[in-house]
Structure 1
Amino acid sequence: MVYITASGQFLPGDPVDNAHMADHIGRLSPQAERLGRLVLRQNRIATRHYAMKPDGTTDWTIAKMLGQAVRSTLDDAEIDAKQVGYLATSTTQNDLMVPGLASQVHGELGLPPLELASMQSVCASSMMALKSAYLQVKSGEHRAALVGGGEFASRYFRPGFYEGTDSVLQDGTLPGDAGFLRWTLSDGAAAVLLEDRPASRGLSLRVDWVSLRSFADRFEPCMTAGSVRDREGSLTPWSHHENIRAAAQAGAFQLRQDVDALYRMLPVWLGEFMRLVDEGLIEPDAVDWFAIHYSAHSLREEMIKQATKAGCMIPEERWFSNLATKGNVGAASIFLILDDLLKSAKLEEGQTVLCAVPESGQCVMAYAGMTVVGPHDGRDAK
């Protein structure tokens, strides 16, 4: 069996409220800020953290933030860090194009040689990393594994990434697919430790199963970066432009989100939930805590509407989210949620936890079932 025995997180700087957001991501125009206020009413994020300072400088990288989160996790762990044989990381956009994030985090931590995996997608890359580590420990390949996610979205939101490009409209605003994410994404990192036995003190989470499915056969890319969409809707990779300046001028290095396509994915995500109900992995009435990542409160409301109509709604009082206080931190979000839940004093032995991570990149849906277990001496737990 596999257990989450420790967790940790790192959020850079002080919480930034809505009134001071523009000081951190930079001001494009009064019109752009009016759009931002509309987005904030939709997502209902009250505070978030930025690794970028108001002057556009930073002391951080994703690797450094995730390294801090892993150290926090190991501080809570009972095992020595040298016993960890596997490290899996997740992010939307790495600090470097090469090498992978896991290599950078490994170097940041200075741990002895180990096996690693770098997962790169959007939010669900966290669950890709979790499943890879879960299988490694479950198979007996490794006694313990570290899994984490980190994001540094704010570095792409500075005015300099937009000014002078074809993306900026005459009134100083951005197209909706670019402006939406500026007011939605933020920075940070979190991690968990997986072991082949529960902790000897406190509560652990037994990972019972992890399910992840892509539906890219049904959807075009919805959240993109590194490309430009032509008039026919096709994506041209940045590397297919005449030169790097032409790619930047066209806006190829900007994050984009097709919000309409995002909402069209909701029935598919719910359908995946129903599939797992039919297979007996999920019993909605038996879920004590629904640890769900979503990008905006408006999306949550639509989820509730559709789940209620389908007769599979988990009561809202069982939902656990920290979106309002920590923001949408992409691949780090589910690990931030798990860390906060483990440290909330809400969990009781025997309770069940259902994790859910939808991804709009090109439509991915991931779920994981867990059970809260009490302390164990660990000597005969396998």
Structure 2
Amino acid sequence: MTAAKAYIAAVGTALPGAPVDNQHLADRFGIDADWIELFIGTKTRHFAVDLETKEQQHTLADLAAQAGAKALAASGLEPEDIGFVVLGTATPDALMPATVNLVADKLGLDQLPTYQLQSGCAGAVQALDLGYALVSSGLHRNGLVLGGDVCAKHLPLDQDFASMPASELVNFVLFGDGAGAAVLTSEPVGARLALHRVLNRLTGLGREPGQTVEWFGANDRDSGKQPIREDYKAIEGAVPVMTGEVVWELLDELGWSDTDLDYLLPPQLSGRMTERIVASLDLPGVTEVSCVADTGNTSNALPFMQLARLLERAEPGQKAIGVAVESSKWIKAGYALEKV
């Protein structure tokens, strides 16, 4: 195998506020805590919005800057060493200015290119893909890649939850808020996690979206449209299959066998769904690296939270594959790593 052209030197993450457990959600929304546990399998999550006052207490820029600062500090690099910043998110703080530029400002970064990618659960890997291209091409020696979402601000908290359709109600227990960051380098420094390959592919031609998040303007905010919709049955059927396709394509392209693989960072829709995905892959001897049961589905923050856990346990020579699947218009994404 040829030497890697990009490395992850450090990872940082940020979660807002204290964890919110299922009983708290059940009391607040008048739903069954046992239903949350059985159907979703997520135990806690963090929200950037206070569930009682409905006040937003953390912005995406706040959380991404916290994660970015942690990653920079852990990498040993200075702000002036960073050649670019890229952010993947489905929920930017505003249409303009781009949230990535607010994050750069908070981190003291200036006079460098910035990029913001609008995407759901695959956005973090798309950001990693762009960062990999910028570093591996020799255009930049180091860069900061970010991913995160603040989903709670899209959820109306003054609804009649007893009459809410399941396709909308699920979003109040499925998602959490957070951000993550990774410092990419052209040389193996810091955590020395070689990034061998990033896969990023739209596969949604002719397919109905599995998830829709509305972005209301001044003229349609009272339209009565459901702000977030999930076709959970379609997602349940498609995501395990797409995950397997990503894993085997990456293994084949790199010349790795399934016995070479030490860790799997699977898609993190929910605790229960992750269990199904991992079981469907049937990779004996491979250790699952997951966090969704504790953090909730933080969308574009999740891959970085998994990476942070991977760095705590990976030994030199061990290999990992991470997968993210976006159901909004069906994007499969993944990346292959090796501790060097």
Q: TM-score, normalised by structure 1?
A: 0.81
User: Any conservation in 1 of the 2:79–2:108 contact (CA below 8 Å)?
Assistant: no
Kept in 2, the 8 Å contact 1:90–1:101? The answer is no
Q: After TM superposition, what 4+ stretches of structure 1 lie above 4 angstroms from structure 2?
A: none
Aligned partner (choices 154, 157, 160) of residue 156 of structure 1: 154
Change (3 A) 1:283 1:317: closer
* CA drift at 1:90: 1.1
Give the 3-state SS of the residue equivalent to 1:107 in structure 2. helix
Alignment of 1:289-308 (within 5 A): 289-307=263-281
Residues 1:262 and 2:235 aligned together: yes
Matching residue of 1:46: 43
Q: Can you give the 5+ residue segments of structure 1 that lack an aligned partner in the other structure? A: 228-237, 308-312, 374-382
Q: Does 1:326 align with 2:295?
A: yes
CA distance in 1, matches of 2:255, 2:316: 20
- Which of 103, 106, 112 in structure 1 is aligned with 2:104? 106
**Inter-partner Cα distance in structure 2 for 1:107 and 1:317:** 41
1:353 to 306, 317, 320: 320
Aligned counterpart in structure 2 of residue 248 of structure 1, from 194, 206, 222: 222
Find the aligned partners of 2:213 and 2:59 in 1 and give their Cα distance: 19
Distance 1:301 1:78 in 2: 36
Correspondence for 1:196: 186
Identity %: 26
Give the aligned partner of residue 15 of structure 1.
19
Change (3 A) 1:122 1:37: farther
- SS at 1:265's partner residue? helix
Asked whether the equivalents of residues 4 and 204 of structure 1 are also in contact (C-alpha less than 8 Å), the reply is yes
Q: CA RMSD in A?
A: 2.1
Stretch of structure 1 that moved more, 127-136 or 255-264: 255-264
State the Cα deviation string for residues 192-249 of structure 1 (Å, max 9, x = none). 10011122x5x3201011111111114211111117xxxxxxxxxx67xxx72x5433
CA distance, structure 2, for counterparts of residue 268 and residue 324 of structure 1: 21
Instruction: Determine the structure 2 residue equivalent to 1:379.
Output: none
- Residue 271, structure 1, aligned to residue 245, structure 2: yes
Cα distance change on mapping 1:194 and 1:369 into 2, 3 Å: same
Deviation of 1:20 after TM superposition, in Å, equals 1.6
Which residue of 2 is the match for residue 184 of structure 1?
Answer: 174
Q: Note the alpha carbon deviations across 1:269-326, whole angstroms, 9 max, x for none.
A: 423433344444552211111122321233234324533xxxxx22375111011212
After superposition, the C-alpha distances for 1:76-95 in whole angstroms (9 at most, x for unaligned) are 12121111011010111111
1:143 aligns with 2:141: yes
Checking the alignment, whether the CA contact within 8 Å between 1:357 and 1:365 is kept in structure 2 is yes
Could you say what secondary structure the match of 2:69 adopts? helix
Separation (CA, whole Å) in 1 of partners of 2:267 and 2:245: 17
Matches of 1:180 and 1:37 in 2, distance apart? Answer: 14
Which residue number corresponds to residue 378 of structure 1? none
TM-score, normalised to structure 2, is 0.91
5+ residue gaps, structure 2, are none
